[in-house]
Amino acid sequence: MKSARAFLILITAVIFLISLQVESLAQNQVNTCIECHLELDDELLDPAIKFAEDVHNKEGISCAGCHGGDPTEEDAELAMSEKNGFRAVPSIREIPQFCGQCHSDPAYMRKYNPALPTDQLGKYWTSQHGQKIKQGDKNVAQCISCHSVHDIRKTSDPRSPVYDLNVPQTCSSCHSDADYMASYPIATDQHADYQESVHGIALLKHKDTGAPACNDCHGNHAATPPGVASIGRVCYQCHLAEGELFNVSPHKTAFDDLGEAECSSCHGNHSIRPLTDEQVGVGDESLCATCHSEDDAGYEAAKAMKQALVDLSETYMEARELIDEAERKGVGVSDEQFALLDVRHSLINVRKLVHAFNPDTLISSAERAMEAADEVHQAGISAVVEVKNRRKGFILFTLVTIVLMALVIVKIKQIERDKVK
């Protein structure tokens, strides 16, 4: 009885081991597509070499996943026969559909990664790229112009051409090439402008991936110009506070009526620069004076808003200088430094309030911030007075010490002289 049970266990174990072996054989099965193409040259060889790094390869989708054919056949003709479903190389125009056969099939994609969107093809057709390719234009971007082919990587892979930091370069490989774009009516300066902008500097120089690359404003797959009506929405994604203020400001309806773009009419799109209070007011650098002229309500508002901003920022700067000076000279000013930080935050918030385009809103906040700024300013003055008093005290102390020491020396000499006598 015991030996019968042992035999049963042995048999089960053997069957289990054999099944494992069979499975691993299936997995290690040679892929004739790769094997044969590794023996070939140039563009027939390249795909087989590059494919080691491809996301599809890593997911177990081999050459046949895209090209069809039978990857177990050693004979070239059989492996690549139409009977076995082989699809030769897709033309540029066919590529979107070729990639989309899987990527726009939610049931299929869910098996691999339920979180991955399946809207790329649908969105692509709505883009200027997709519209033009349908008309037979071969210069516009399709899937592999942005993602490459045979070494396609996850978008989160820093080596992917669509990884955040690489997107501007990928788009500009066409859009900054004046010869390539010669037959189109659009400029080729977007990248040049972008890389000098606050966004370009933040992303490309400081590697701040919170700053927008081309696709954050234009969409990954629906690359159309955002259009006047939707530009605001593009900026709101990140600059919510300014967007909310703008939406209830008098400019909202005024700009809609004029057909003016909400944010970019003042800030531009690719060459957005840092701003100063000068751009509020009515002076040479003013953004307001381009539309408002003397005596209209906007002009007066601009003047008043700028004055409030300048007063606040000057008081803040002076307070900062005083407190920094006191700190350098050794006076403890940590409380004042904290208070100063609060004033700085208020100043930033008051600058945002420009976007309410309502002088009362801005000025009342500026006045509240000004009270705090004045307090810090006073504290700064006291700290500097303390520095001066300390210095006076020190000089007095040194003088007294010197006089005392001189007296002591005179006294010692006198004693010595008395001894000699």
Residues numbered 223 to 242 that lie near ligand HEC (CB under 6 A) are: 223-228, 231-232, 234-235, 237-239, 242
CB 160 within 8 A of CB 62: no
CB 210 within 8 A of CB 203: no
Of 101, 378, 398, 401, the one binding ligand HEC by CB under 6 A: 101
Place of tokens 């005596």: 295
CB 219 within 8 A of CB 125: no
CB 339 within 8 A of CB 372: yes
Asked if 333 is part of the footprint of ligand HEC (rule: CB under 6 A), the reply reads no
Of 133, 151, 216, 343, the one binding ligand HEC by CB under 6 A: 216
- Which amino acid is it at 127? S
Of 166, 204, 275, 344, the one binding ligand HEC by CB under 6 A: 275
Asked if 380 is part of the footprint of ligand HEC (rule: CB under 6 A), the reply reads no
Which stretch, 220-228, 317-325, 375-383, 396-404, contacts ligand HEC (CB under 6 A)?
220-228
Tokens, residue 46: 């390249």
Compute the distance between CA of residue 260 and CA of residue 253 in angstroms, rounded to an integer: 10
Which of 168, 380 has the CB closer to ligand HEC?
168
Q: How far is the CB of 33 from ligand HEC (least distance, A)?
A: 3
Residues 39-68 within binding reach of ligand HEC (CB under 6 A): 40, 43-44, 46-48, 51, 55-56, 59, 61-67
Q: How far is the CB of 16 from ligand HEC (least distance, A)?
A: 30
Q: How far is the CB of 134 from ligand HEC (least distance, A)?
A: 12
Which stretch, 18-26, 267-275, 321-329, 332-340, contacts ligand HEC (CB under 6 A)?
267-275
Which of 84, 337 has the CB closer to ligand HEC?
84
Of 133, 222, 308, 309, the one binding ligand HEC by CB under 6 A: 309
Q: How far is the CB of 373 from ligand HEC (least distance, A)?
A: 16
The CA–CA distances, whole Å, from 98 to 82, 101, 110, 119, 230 equal 16, 6, 18, 14, 31
CB 70 within 8 A of CB 84: yes
Q: How far is the CB of 120 from ligand HEC (least distance, A)?
A: 4
CB 153 within 8 A of CB 53: yes
Query: Mask 388-407, x = binds ligand HEC (CB under 6 A)?
Result: --------------------
Which of 309, 333 has the CB closer to ligand HEC?
309
Compute the distance between CA of residue 243 and CA of residue 236 in angstroms, rounded to an integer: 5
Q: What is the b/e burial string over 368-391, where b = at least 16 CB atoms within 10 angstroms of the residue's CB?
A: ebbebbeebbebbeebbeebeeee
The residues, any chain, with a CB within 8 Å of residue 264's CB and separated by 6 or more, are 231, 235
Asked if 308 is part of the footprint of ligand HEC (rule: CB under 6 A), the reply reads no
Residues 112-171 within binding reach of ligand HEC (CB under 6 A): 112-113, 116-117, 120-121, 124, 128-129, 132, 139-147, 149-150, 152, 154-155, 162, 164, 167-168, 170-171
Which stretch, 17-25, 314-322, 328-336, 355-363, contacts ligand HEC (CB under 6 A)?
355-363
Of 210, 283, 332, 393, the one binding ligand HEC by CB under 6 A: 210
Compute the distance between CA of residue 93 and CA of residue 236 in angstroms, rounded to an integer: 35
Tokens, residue 133: 């390719």
Which of 315, 379 has the CB closer to ligand HEC?
315
Asked if 85 is part of the footprint of ligand HEC (rule: CB under 6 A), the reply reads no
Residues in the chain: 421
Place of tokens 């307001």: 288
Tokens, residue 222: 């629906």
Compute the distance between CA of residue 288 and CA of residue 291 in angstroms, rounded to an integer: 6
The C-alpha angle with vertex 116 and arms to 111 and 117, in degrees rounded to 5, equals 120
Which of 207, 413 has the CB closer to ligand HEC?
207
Residues 13-42 within binding reach of ligand HEC (CB under 6 A): 32-34, 36-37, 40
CB 63 within 8 A of CB 47: yes
Tokens, residue 232: 């605001």
